[in-house]
Amino acid sequence: MTDPDLPERAIATALIHHPYQPPAGFAAPQPGIFKASTVIFASTAAMRARNWKEKVGYTYGLHGTPTTFTLEERIATLEGGLHTVLVPSGLAAIALTDMALLRSGDELLIPDNAYNPNKELARHELAGWGITHRFYDPMDVDALAAMLTPATRLVWIEPPGSVTMEFPDLTRLVRVARSQGALVALDNTWGAGLAFNPFRLEGAGVDTLGADISVHALTKYPSGGGDVLMGAVTTRDPALHLKLNAAHMRMGWGVAANDVETVLRALPSLALRYAAADDAGRALARWWSTRPEVAQVLHPALEGSPGHAHWQRLCSRSAGLFSIVFDERYTARQVDAFVDALKLFRIGFSWAGPVSLVVPYDLTAMRERPRWRGTLVRFSLGLEAVDDLIADSAQALAALNA
Ligand SMILES: *Cc1c(COP(=O)(O)O)cnc(C)c1O
C-alpha cells in the first residue's frame, strides 16, 4: 500500500517506484507485449556482466525484449534456421545483409529479375562505398559460374524473380556460388518459409545444401494485414549470425513492440492464408491462360511458365502471386484502362494482405534483357472469394478492348 495523503512531489516518485506487482502465473494463448528502450539491471554487477550476444538476458530495448526474442525464435523455426534478427522492413533486411557482409573491394552479384530496390541499393549506395555489383541471369547457371571471381563475396538469389516470376534452379545456383567461396543470401519472401526450406534445398546432415542467409519481408504473408513493415534475416551459422547481430546493433535498426505484436498475432494463420492465396492464385492464373488477350501467364506452378520444372522439384505450394503479359497488339494505355476498370483488385505495391492488388509494369524499363514484349500486369491475391476476382477480371476486359 502507498500513503493516500502523499504531497505532489512524493506522488511523482511514488508513481514511478510503485511497489505493486501483478500476480505471477498469468497465462493466455498469446504472449504478453513488452515495450522498452531502457532495461533495468538489478545491480551494477549485473549491468557490467550484460551479454547482448546470446538470448540469456536483456541489455537495451534495441538489443531485444521478450517480445522481439519471441518473434525472432518463431521466424527462425518457420525458415528452418537457427537465429533471426528483426529489422524495420524487408528492404532493411536486404540492406543489413549487404552492409554486414560486404566491404570496399568486394563484389556482389544480384539476379537481373530481383526485387528492384535490392538492385537500386547496390547501384546507388553500395557503389559509393567501393562495393561493385553485376546483375546475372538466374536462369543461366553457367553464365553465373563464369561471372564469379575471388572478389565475389555475396550472391543474392530470389525465387521466383520479382514480377516476371521465373523460378531458378536453386540447388545449382547455390552450389556454383559456394564453389567459389561466395556467401549466398536468398530472398525468401515469396516462399514465406512454407513453399520450401531455404537452408535445406538438397541432402541432409553434413551434406545439406542451402543458403547461408534467408531474408524475409515479414510485411508480406507473416503480417498478412497490409499494415506492418518488418523484415527478418535468418541463418543457421552462429558466427554469421553474430556478425549480422553486431551490425544490426551498431546501425540501430530496432522494431516496435506493437508491430511485433501484430505479426505474432498473424503467424498462427500464416499457413492457412498462404494455402488459400495459392489456391485462388492458381485458379485465376488458369482462367487467364484461356484468354485470347494474353500472350503468357507467368506463374511458377503452371506448366509452360519459366522454371516450372525447378518449382515442381522443390515446392508443393506457391504464393498467391502471378503476372500476365498482354498480347503485343494492346498498347500500354489500353492495359492501364483495363487496370483502372478493375473494382475488387486495387492498384498498389506490396502483396499478401487481405485486399487483392494489381500493378502494371513496363518490362523494357525493368530488365537488361527482357524476355517478353508487351505490357505485364502483376496480380496479388487477397482473401476475397476467387469467383468474385475472376468475375472482376472478366468485366474489366471490356475496357481493354474499348
Ligand atoms: C516486398 C519485398 C521486399 C521488401 O519488403 P518491405 O518490407 O516492403 O521493405 C523484399 N523482397 C521481396 C521479394 C519483396 O516482395
- Residue to probe by mutation, ligand 1, list 87, 189, 221, most atoms within 8 Å of CB: 189
The rounded distance, in Å, linking the Cα atoms of 144 and 162 is 18
The rounded distance, in Å, linking the Cα atoms of 352 and 53 is 33
For residue 245, what are the CA distances in angstroms to 65, 78, 154, 219, 259?
14, 19, 18, 20, 20
Residues 177 and 52 in one domain: yes
Closest ligand 1 atom to 217 CA: 5
Residues 66 and 145 in one domain: yes
For residue 94, what are the CA distances in angstroms to 131, 189, 226, 263, 294?
15, 11, 20, 19, 34
The rounded distance, in Å, linking the Cα atoms of 251 and 87 is 10
| Residue 114, all three cell numbers | 530481383
Pick the residue with more confidence: 122 or 364?
122
160 preceded by a cis bond (ω within 30 of 0)? yes
Q: Which domain-ending residue is among 215, 245, 268?
A: 268
The pLDDT value given to residue 368 = 64
Sequence-separated (6 or more) residues with CB below 8 Å from residue 35: 61, 65, 67, 257, 258
Residues 222 and 285 in one domain: no
CA end-to-end span of the chain, whole Å? 77
| Residue 289, all three cell numbers | 491462360
Give the model confidence (pLDDT) of 177-218 as tens digits: 999 999 999 999 999 999 999 999 999 888 899 999 999 999
Give the model confidence (pLDDT) of 23-61 as tens digits: 999 999 999 999 999 999 999 999 999 998 889 999 999
11, part of any domain: no
- Ligand 1 mean position, distance from CA 373 (Å): 26
The rounded distance, in Å, linking the Cα atoms of 348 and 356 is 9
pLDDT at 372 over 90: no
- Ligand 1 mean position, distance from CA 265 (Å): 20
Helix, strand, or coil (residue 325): strand
Number of domains in the chain: 2
Q: Which domain-ending residue is among 224, 251, 268?
A: 268
93, part of any domain: yes
Written as one string, the DSSP assignment of 254-277 is ---HHHHHHHHHHGGGHHHHHHHH
pLDDT at 369 over 70: no
CB distance 284 to 381 below 8 Å: yes
Handedness of CA 236, 94, 171, 160 (dihedral sign): positive
- Ligand 1 mean position, distance from CA 232 (Å): 11
The pLDDT value given to residue 75 = 98
Residues 174 and 98 in one domain: yes
Burial (CB < 10 A; 0-12, 13-18, 19+), residue 402, is exposed
27, part of any domain: no
- Residue 367 φ/ψ, nearest 5 degrees: -125, 145
pLDDT at 325 over 60: yes
CB of 229 closer than 6 A to ligand 1? yes
pLDDT at 330 over 60: yes
Written as one string, the DSSP assignment of 130-181 is T-EEEEE-TT-HHHHHHH--TTEEEEEE-SS-TTT-----HHHHHHHHHHTT
Instruction: Decide: pTM greater than 0.85.
Output: yes
Rounded mean pLDDT of the chain? 95
- Residue to probe by mutation, ligand 1, list 75, 87, 91, 162, most atoms within 8 Å of CB: 91
Residues 123 and 254 in one domain: yes
Residues 103 and 240 in one domain: yes
CB distance 216 to 234 below 8 Å: yes
Residues 192 and 214 in one domain: yes
pLDDT confidence bin for 138, thresholds 50/70/90: very high
| Residue 127, all three cell numbers | 557503389
The rounded distance, in Å, linking the Cα atoms of 346 and 357 is 5
Closest ligand 1 atom to 219 CA: 7
The domain of 253 spans: 44-268
CB of 164 closer than 6 A to ligand 1? no
Indicate which residue's Cα is closest to atom 3 of ligand 1: 90
pLDDT at 5 over 90: no
The pLDDT value given to residue 7 = 80
Residues 118 and 223 in one domain: yes
Residues 157 and 283 in one domain: no
The rounded distance, in Å, linking the Cα atoms of 297 and 306 is 10
Residues 234 and 284 in one domain: no
- Ligand 1 mean position, distance from CA 87 (Å): 12
Closest to 327 (Cα-Cα) out of 342, 319, 338, 318: 338
- Residue to probe by mutation, ligand 1, list 86, 89, 219, most atoms within 8 Å of CB: 219
The rounded distance, in Å, linking the Cα atoms of 139 and 332 is 27
Closest to 325 (Cα-Cα) out of 287, 362, 283: 362
pLDDT at 1 over 60: no
344, part of any domain: yes
34, part of any domain: no
18, part of any domain: no
Residues 297 and 245 in one domain: no
Query: Averaged over 8-29, what is the pLDDT?
Result: 89
Indicate which residue's Cα is closest to atom 10 of ligand 1: 90
Q: Percentage of residues in the chain with pLDDT exceeding 70?
A: 99
Helix, strand, or coil (residue 384): coil
CB distance 295 to 325 below 8 Å: yes
Closest to 102 (Cα-Cα) out of 80, 75, 121, 81: 121
pLDDT at 2 over 70: no
pLDDT at 4 over 80: no
CATH number of the domain at 193, please.
3.40.640.10
Give the model confidence (pLDDT) of 73-118 as tens digits: 999 999 999 999 999 999 999 999 999 999 999 999 999 999 999 9
The pLDDT value given to residue 225 = 96
Q: Which domain-ending residue is among 237, 268, 299?
A: 268
Helix, strand, or coil (residue 226): coil
pLDDT confidence bin for 370, thresholds 50/70/90: low
- Cβ count within 10 A of residue 132: 16
Indicate which residue's Cα is closest to atom 15 of ligand 1: 189
CB of 90 closer than 6 A to ligand 1? yes
Residues 167 and 223 in one domain: yes
6, part of any domain: no
- Ligand 1 mean position, distance from CA 151 (Å): 27
